[in-house]
């Protein structure tokens, strides 16, 4: 099947990036948010990323306009019904994701492919909420989507070859490099990344060093672009907690157990950069 029109659910950190990159690569995109205020906020994020791109000489005013012209925002799931591929990028919560996919399944043509940008949740579990589990797969983009080159494609035990090949061709058309993983919590990257991030919190919590020194250690000592606490703020402290909980639930391995500080921070609303405060302060 040829993908012409793409639906994206959620216009937060990831959904806004997936929407932008798809539109930049010539696809018509309909992006759905929970309400108008959140939609406006998400669309503004896309606008300002593109503006910064112009300032950096990476794109022209005309290219920015052409990209924005390809994007339609909505707060109604039904407006995604004519899309050929729908990528979900909402909160990392199995019940909420399944509810959205169940509703979507009733709205879309049977041949439409459903992809989830989940970081950790079982693909077959979400697919089971639909009547098209063979047309369901994980499409795991990385943050920030317009810059990071990777998409991890996750096949469940029933994802068809046709679905996989169509989704792979779509991701490659966005200029992304593909790796393929089995449907196991955290797939490839988060299986390795999440214990590292949690160890960063444990080091901070137990007083090994200041947050600045922990981050500087990994940046200057291991050439990482961000230290673990900076990266946690960048990914979202809330999202990292949700991912860790999914992985701990499945593996029961202490390396995936969220440190108490992470849970306390989420309860306090310290969700990282997006909320203005996490391990560091970002002001307004
Ligand atoms: N428009 C176009 N291009 C832009 C841009 C914009 N608005 N902003 C930045 N860029 C380009 C820059 O021009 C530059 O490209 P070149 O190298 O070709 O010049 C590149 O993006 C990097 O930009 P900067 O050098 O200015 O930015 P930086 O050095 O501060 O890097 C960063 C920013 C890429 C975010 C870097 O800090 C980084 O890689 N951080 C770690 C990110 C990471 O690990 N992400 C994965 C998180 S885990 C995940 O996503 C999975 C999950 O499930 C949780
Ligand atoms: P986010 O909190 O920035 O954005 C989620 C957005 O979804 C919010 O704006 C919210 O309003 C919206 N939303 C919630 N319910 C909705 C609904 N029913 N309909 C429409 N919109 C709805 O979260 P995020 O960081 O973009 O993460 C989204 C997904 O991507 C999660 O599954 C996460 O695990 C995954 N992911 C996150 C990262 C990351 O670095 N943050 C990286 C890769 C994958």
Its CATH class, for the domain covering 5-182, is: alpha beta
Of the residues 33, 92, 190, 230, which is catalytic? 190
173-200 pLDDT, tens digit per residue, is 999 999 999 999 999 999 999 999 999 9
* pLDDT for the residue 1: 79
Annotation says 140 is catalytic: yes
Q: pLDDT above 70 covers what percent of the chain?
A: 100
Average pLDDT over residues 213-237: 98
DSSP H helices in 123-227: 123-127, 161-173, 189-205, 211-222
Q: Tell me: domain 193-274, CATH 3.40.630.20, correct?
A: no
Q: What are the angstrom distances between the C-alpha of 128 and each of 16, 62, 85, 249? A: 27, 43, 18, 19
CA of 138 to the centre of ligand 2 (A): 14
Whether the CB of 242 sits within 6 Å of ligand 1: no
CA angle 115, 178, 150 (to 5 degrees): 90
Average pLDDT over residues 11-33: 98
CA of 96 to the centre of ligand 1 (A): 30
* pLDDT for the residue 249: 97
The DSSP bridge partners found for residue 155 are 182
Ligand nearest to the CA of 117: 2
- Sign of the CA dihedral with 95 first, then 96, 102, and 105 last: negative
pLDDT band at 123 (very low <50, low <70, confident <90, very high): very high
Spatial separation of the C-alpha atoms in residues 21 and 87, rounded to whole Å: 13
* pLDDT for the residue 37: 98
CA of 51 to the centre of ligand 2 (A): 23
Whether the CB of 58 sits within 6 Å of ligand 1: yes
**φ/ψ of residue 201, rounded to 5:** -65, -45
Predicted structure pTM score: 0.98
Whether the CB of 224 sits within 6 Å of ligand 1: no
Mean pLDDT, all residues of the chain = 98
DSSP string, 170-187: HHHHTT-EEEEEESSTTT
39-68 pLDDT, tens digit per residue, is 999 999 999 999 999 999 999 999 999 999
Ligand nearest to the CA of 219: 1
Q: What are the angstrom distances between the C-alpha of 61 and each of 23, 42, 66, 67, 257? A: 15, 20, 9, 10, 47
Nearest CA to 171 out of 194, 126, 129, 137 is that of 137
CA angle 109, 142, 9 (to 5 degrees): 30
pLDDT greater than 90 at residue 284: no
Annotation says 165 is catalytic: no
Whether the CB of 53 sits within 6 Å of ligand 1: yes
Annotation says 152 is catalytic: yes
User: Mapping DSSP to helix (H, G, I), strand (E, B) and coil, where does residue 208 land?
Assistant: coil
Give the number of the atom of ligand 2 that is nearest the alpha carbon of residue 235.
40
Beta strand 136-141 with 150-155 is antiparallel
Domain boundaries along the sequence of the chain: 5-182, 193-274
Of the residues 16, 119, 120, 122, which is catalytic? 119
CA of 182 to the centre of ligand 2 (A): 22
pLDDT greater than 90 at residue 11: yes
Question: Other CB atoms closer than 10 Å to residue 192's CB: what's the count?
Answer: 10
Q: pLDDT above 90 covers what percent of the chain?
A: 99
Average pLDDT over residues 152-177: 98
96-117 pLDDT, tens digit per residue, is 999 999 999 999 999 999 999 9
Ligand nearest to the CA of 194: 1
Whether the CB of 16 sits within 6 Å of ligand 2: no
Annotation says 119 is catalytic: yes
Instruction: Spell out the residues 6+ positions from residue 76 whose beta carbon is closer than 8 angstroms to its own.
Output: 32
**17, 52, 56, 119: residue to mutate for ligand 1 pocket, most atoms within 8 A of CB:** 56
* pLDDT for the residue 73: 98
pLDDT greater than 90 at residue 24: yes
């Amino acid at each position: 099947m040829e993908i012409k029109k793409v639906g994206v659910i959620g216009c937060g950190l990831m959904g806004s990036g997936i929407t932008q990159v798809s539109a930049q690569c010539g696809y018509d995109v309909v992006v759905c948010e929970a309400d108008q205020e959140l939609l406006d906020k998400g669309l503004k994020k896309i606008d300002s990323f593109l503006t910064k791109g112009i300032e950096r000489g990476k794109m022209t005013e005309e290219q920015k306009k052409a990209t924005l012209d390809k994007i339609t925002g909505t707060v109604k799931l039904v407006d995604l019904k004519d899309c050929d591929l729908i990528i979900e990028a909402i909160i990392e919560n199995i019940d909420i994701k399944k509810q959205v996919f169940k509703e979507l399944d009733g709205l879309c043509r049977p041949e439409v492919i459903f992809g989830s940008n989940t970081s950790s949740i079982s693909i077959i579990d979400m697919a089971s909420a639909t009547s098209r589990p063979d047309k369901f797969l994980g499409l795991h983009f990385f943050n920030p989507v317009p810059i990071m080159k990777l998409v991890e494609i996750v096949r469940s035990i029933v994802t068809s070859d046709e679905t996989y090949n169509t989704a792979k061709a779509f991701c490659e058309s966005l200029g992304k490099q593909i790796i393929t993983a089995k449907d196991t919590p955290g797939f490839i990257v988060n299986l390795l990344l999440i214990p590292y991030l949690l160890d960063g919190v444990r080091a901070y919590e137990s007083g090994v060093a200041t947050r600045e020194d922990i981050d500087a250690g990994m940046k200057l000592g291991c050439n990482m672009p961000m230290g673990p606490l900076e990266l946690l703020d960048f990914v979202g402290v809330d999202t990292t907690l949700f991912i860790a909980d999914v992985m701990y639930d499945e593996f029961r391995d202490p390396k995936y157990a969220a440190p108490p500080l992470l849970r306390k921070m989420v309860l306090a609303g310290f969700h990282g950069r997006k909320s203005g405060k996490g391990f560091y302060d970002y002001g307004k």
